[in-house]
Structures are given as C-alpha cells and as structure tokens.
Amino acid sequence: MNRFSEFNQMEMTRRGRIEVICGSMFSGKTEELIRRLKRAKFARQKVEIFKPSLDTRYSDVDVVSHDSNHIVSTPIESSTSILLLATDVDVVGIDEAQFFDNELAEVCNELARRGTRVIVAGLDMDFKCQPFGPMPALMAVADEVTKVHAICVKCGNLAYVSHRLVSGDKQVLLGEKAEYEPLCRECYYAAMSEQAGKEQKQE
C-alpha cells in the first residue's frame, strides 16, 4: 500500500464524528479548520464548508483566516440549511460557529449520525468571558475538542479571552485587531479593573 492510500484510508476512518476547534480570536482556529478540510480534499473526499452570512470581514463567500489562508464556503442564515445543502458529502466544515443559532449542535449530531465527519471552529467565549452561542453544546457532544491559543499581547503568555477595545455591550461585534486583543486571564482581569476605575472617575 502506497503512502497516499494509507493516508486516504486514515482519513476515511474518521467519518461519522464531530470535531470542535475553539479558542480566542487570533488563536488559529480558522487556520486549523482550513488545514483539516484541505487534507480531506487531498484524500479525495467530498467536502462542503459553511459560514454565517453575517461574517463578511474578509470575503462574502470564502472562509479566510487572519493569515489570509482561504477556502471557498457557502454563507447561510440558519444552521438547519446545512442539512439540506450537505447531502452526499464526506466532510462538513463550519466556521464562526458561535454566530449560529442553538440548533447547530443537533444539526451536527444529525450529520454525524449520517456518517459525516463534521469539523467546527468557533470562539468558546465572548468578550465578557461568557460561553458563546451554541459552542458549549457543541463541545459537549463532540468526539474531539481542540483548544488553540493566541499569545497575550501584554505579557506573552497563552491568551485566555478576546478583550474588546471599543465601547459597546452588544455580544456580536465583528472586528479585528482594532477592536479586539487576545489577553491571558491575569491581564484580562487587570484590564477590566483598570476600565472600571476609569468609569468610576468619569461618574
């Protein structure tokens, strides 16, 4: 058996499962999602990729990482659309899962029951360190969870959360380095304490 056949066989045995890639912003979630999807394509598997239609930061259609790596996807409004669009495929990729509705976990379960390998990437927490959207449910039902980390811009340790740099209490706020920075737990709480002190002085 040649190396390609061994690789193809290994990838094929990973069907009927849910893999979740989570972490803060700038941690390489989308990069890892794209890497796994491209490997599946290399193994000659049929792959479909989806992302929420509201995420148009880099492209209306493509899934694009912060390092400008990209792969063609289908923007959708509702997670249930995936069941209609992902028939007869081997692998389904889903990016920015935190922006989808709470039906996403059951959609992924149904795909896995059909024998589809589902790879999901998303933020595990919002800027307030609260579980984000359907991500907790997805991690609970996943066969495998990979938590990736950015580097804290303050101290260089592993980042814990995406700290929002602009004002506003709305949970969903699309942004990049001008709006968010990755911070470790200690630096995040220090930043929150400093922000609270400034707000008290303004009052």
- Our answer to whether residue 32 is catalytic in this structure is no
CB atoms within 10 A of CB 161: 28
Q: Using CA atoms of 168, 169, 170, 175 in order, give the dihedral in degrees to the nearest 10.
A: 50
Q: Any idea what DSSP says for residue 97?
A: G
CB atoms within 10 A of CB 190: 14
- Angle of helix 3-12 versus helix 29-42 axis, rounded to 10: 120
Catalytic residue among 11, 19, 48, 96: 96
- CA torsion sign for 42, 85, 82, 56 is positive
Which stretches of 70-144 are DSSP H helices? 81-85, 104-113, 135-141
**Which two structure tokens, joined as six digits, stand for 95?**
């990016």
Q: Which of 40, 50, 44, 32 is nearest to 117 (CA)?
A: 40
The DSSP code sequence of 150-167 is -B-TTTSSB--EEEE-S-
CA distance 71 to 62: 6
Question: Which residues are annotated as catalytic?
Answer: 96
